[in-house]
Amino acid sequence: MATLERPGLLQLPVYHADDSNATIRLDANERTKNLPEPVRKAVVDRLSNIAFNRYPEMNMTTLKKMLAAGLGVSLEEVAIGCGSSALLEAACQAFGGMGRKIAYPVPSFSMYEVYVRLADSEPVQLAMDDDFKLDVAAAIKTLAEQQPSLLLLCNPNNPTGTVMTPEELMPLLKAAQCPVLVDEAYIEFSQEVSLLGIQQQFPNLIIMRTFSKAYGLASARVGYMTARPELVGLLERVLLPYHVNAMSLAAAETVFAMRAEFTADIAETIAERQRMAAALAAVPVQVYPSGTNFLFCRFKDPDEAAALFDFLCQHDIGVRDFSRKPLLGGLRITIGTPAENDQVFKMIKLFLDSRRTI
């Protein structure tokens, strides 16, 4: 039988996110708790009144108007996708293509390379320093040499949690001769590093966000972005009709209208992140500074990291395993409730104490 798949398909990296059955699930950077009860009730009420026989609002104008008002931009500067991943893929399709290059830092969100290759574009990897921050000077040089048609940046960065300030990124934004998409999926946990305040200075700047993390709508899959109208128009040319379902739109509209209900929980996550980072550093474990709802920990011995991952799994705790390439010795731990965090720390310390007394 002739080869069925398109050339290169089997060489694409596969995104792995196991459906964890762990009691403490801290592997996917989700909001640990369900929606705040007033929000949950409002969402359920909205869903009970949906006309399931009708297509969703095609232009998603209701949610776009809400987002535009909240972000301080015009309606024409907003696009909505089925999760921010759909917008990332759309950007690669719109600005990439055969014979074009798309640049992104490594290590960062693993799906960047997949979307780049699906757009038949050539990946251009940008180096990070030892602290997992983008080497801006080296990146500017690479952009000048490689002339990519799109630059992807994740800030705060996943899976390392590291952040770069607008001041640190400004030289790169000034130097880029292509659209720059900044993935701010975790920005609610580090508002001060958002580029939204300087977006009007850069006509090529695209800022993307999601409802999946701080606002707890991972199941609904709704992302959004803001950019100049001409860039939004190009992205929307490659998005499918009715690409966000009516139930997800209703949930997102309700959550955004009631986003103040999440303020206390976001503050708790930040406080717990700081508490856990200090506790782990004292064990000691190498913990990288984070502006997200997770911590990235690293061990000198990758086998020790892998063994700790297995130990946590055996104790009904799910975290993300980065013990092998490209992040040797790494584990990513989502910040949970205070009780969950206490249990995670207890198990990590128990594991480390047992190995160090052998």
Q: How confident is the model at residue 15 (pLDDT cuts 50, 70, 90)?
A: low
- Which pLDDT does position 22 carry in this prediction? 84
Show the DSSP H helices in the chain as ranges. 37-48, 61-71, 83-95, 111-118, 136-146, 166-175, 229-236, 246-257, 263-281, 302-314, 338-356
What is the mean pLDDT of the segment spanning 58-67? 96
Give yes or no for residue 8 having a pLDDT over 80.
Answer: no
Q: Which of 101-105, 247-251, 302-306, 354-358 has the lowest mean pLDDT?
A: 354-358
Share of the chain above pLDDT 70, in %: 96
Give yes or no for residue 6 having a pLDDT over 80.
Answer: no
Per-residue pLDDT of 120-139, as tens digits, reads 999 999 999 989 999 999 99
SS3 (DSSP) at 75:
helix
Distances (CA, A) of 335 to 66, 193, 339: 29, 20, 11
Residues in the chain: 358
- Which pLDDT does position 228 carry in this prediction? 98
Integer Cα distance of 102 and 176 in angstroms: 12
Integer Cα distance of 45 and 23 in angstroms: 29
> Please, which residues have CB within 8 angstroms of residue 303's CB and are 6 or more apart in sequence?
323
Distances (CA, A) of 286 to 235, 277, 300, 328, 335: 40, 9, 9, 13, 16
Give yes or no for residue 145 having a pLDDT over 80.
Answer: yes
Query: Greater confidence, 164 or 15?
Result: 164
Average pLDDT, the chain: 94
Integer Cα distance of 113 and 15 in angstroms: 10
- Which pLDDT does position 114 carry in this prediction? 95
Q: Report the predicted TM-score, pTM, of the whole model to 2 decimal places.
A: 0.94
**102: DSSP letter:** E
Query: Greater confidence, 198 or 324?
Result: 198
**160 Cα distance to chain centroid:** 11
Share of the chain above pLDDT 90, in %: 90
Per-residue pLDDT of 148-166, as tens digits, reads 999 999 999 999 999 999 9
Per-residue pLDDT of 216-272, as tens digits, reads 999 999 999 999 999 999 999 999 999 999 999 999 999 999 999 999 999 999 999
- Which pLDDT does position 1 carry in this prediction? 53
> Please, which residues have CB within 8 angstroms of residue 29's CB and are 6 or more apart in sequence?
158, 186, 213, 292, 293, 294, 332, 334
Domains observed in the chain:
18-34+263-356 (3.90.1150.10), 37-257 (3.40.640.10)
